[in-house]
Chain A
Amino acid sequence: MAKVNPSFLEKVTTSDEFNATACMNCGVCSAVCPLEIELLPRKLFRYALLGLEDRVMENTPTIYQCLLCKMCEASCTADVHIADNVRFLRAYISKEVFKL
């Protein structure tokens, strides 16, 4: 069962950097992604917006597989800053999990 982590949720929703609330789940981003990984990016952002830190963390390798190529962002209908959002999650993992 998925559990919401309130402190993770707060970091995501109060961040100036993470702007995935505009996502309409249209799926264009996932369709154009060169990696063809179902999780990237809209499903991953949905987990983050719901505060499901465990679901985000168990997909750490996928988060680092993102090419940051912005093919998704060039096609996004809602102006979501997808590359910045992925970097935000990486920064969270680097600091809180990897302790870099």
Chain B
Amino acid sequence: MSPTAATVSGALRASPVATGSSVLDPESQELLRALKSSGRAYDDACARLHALLLRAARFEVARRRRGLTGFEADALATDALLAVLRRIDDFRGLSKFTTWAYKFALYEAAVKVRKHAWRDRELPLETDVLGSLHAGSPGPEEDVEMHERLGQIAEGMNDVLTPHQRRVLVALAVNGVPIDVLAERLSTTRGALYKTLHDARAKLRAHLEETS
């Protein structure tokens, strides 16, 4: 099946086009079979998978170097193991099983690291940041056209965004709050927040086209 060149305007793409082989490599087949078995084979497979996930969690923690300990990496690997076992029937065989499993450990670790880094920080949610960025004359290193563009964006943020879209856009795009941290503070999910961000960006781009 060949990929399509379909475009989606104003909405996130619903799902990508499925291509590629679903023929599993022998290592993935063996591990997957054992994880769907019982008794000693199942226990051994879980131990093997936990070791793989622990390696992935430690890999991510070391890569980000933001203060988590080896003990926490172990706990993250256990959380990832539970997530993998819970979703094992969702594995479609379109990648190696280890690659599929790794992503759960990396996700758990990355989210934990981001939350750890922001654990004692107030979230800067103020929406007047952009106004101060484009106020006055452009600085010596700032292109006049860019300065005007920022002004149009600030205007668009006030005119076409909802208060929630403005708050999310400022937190994520201007103040650099990690999406998982903001999702937790606003009691929502990464996916829902990104949808809000995507819609806000689309509105701003349309506003720029109209006003340029």
Asked if A and B bind, the verdict is: no
Chain A residues near B (Cβ < 8 Å): none
